[in-house]
């Protein structure tokens, strides 16, 4: 049985197909780093996070999507796959602030990553 938090949490298989990691991604809200299994209150996630994308080639571009697969709660996911944030054309080795932001909606729930 897999110990990968994305598999254990039902993300792989329900939201995403299995994949092989090809670059690093680090997401923070202020000084708090986002990791699987970590809870965040709406007051922490009210502002845009910082997303740093690894890589070593500025000719590579990435897309970052933040959805909520069980919004507003796991017991009542009637807003399933709610799109919170979409950033395209992010150059490798930079933060998502250099990409094109496509969604500015704000809908806040308690988050469990």
Residues 63-92 have pLDDT tens digits of 888 888 888 888 888 888 888 888 888 887
For residue 72, cis peptide bond before it (omega within 30 degrees of 0): yes
Q: What CATH number is associated with residue 15?
A: 3.90.280.10
Task: Say how many C-beta atoms besides its own lie within 10 A of residue 20's C-beta.
Answer: 4
User: Is the CB of residue 78 less than 8 Å from the CB of residue 70?
Assistant: no
Task: Say how many C-beta atoms besides its own lie within 10 A of residue 1's C-beta.
Answer: 4
pLDDT for res 63: 87
DSSP the chain: ----HHHHTTHHHHTB------S-EEEEETTEEP-TT-EE-HHHHTSPPEEEE--S-TT-EEEEEEEETT-SBTTB-TTTTEEEEEEEEEETTSBGGGSEE---------EE-
Positive or negative, the CA dihedral 41, 39, 53, 106 is negative
Per the structure, the complete domain to which residue 23 belongs is given by 5-112
Domain total in the chain: 1
Residues 12-48 have pLDDT tens digits of 888 889 989 888 888 898 899 998 778 888 888 888 8
């Amino acid at each position: 049985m897999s110990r990968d938090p994305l598999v254990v949490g039902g993300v792989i298989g329900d939201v995403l197909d299995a994949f092989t990691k090809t670059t690093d991604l680090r997401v923070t809200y202020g000084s708090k780093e986002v990791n699987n299994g970590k809870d965040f209150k709406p007051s922490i996630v009210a502002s845009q996070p910082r997303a740093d994308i690894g890589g070593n080639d500025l000719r590579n571009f990435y897309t970052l999507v933040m959805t909520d697969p069980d919004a507003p709660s796991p017991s009542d996911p009637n807003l399933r796959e709610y799109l919170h944030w979409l950033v395209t054309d992010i150059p490798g080795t930079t933060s998502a602030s250099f990409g094109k932001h496509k969604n500015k909606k704000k809908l806040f729930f308690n988050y469990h990553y």
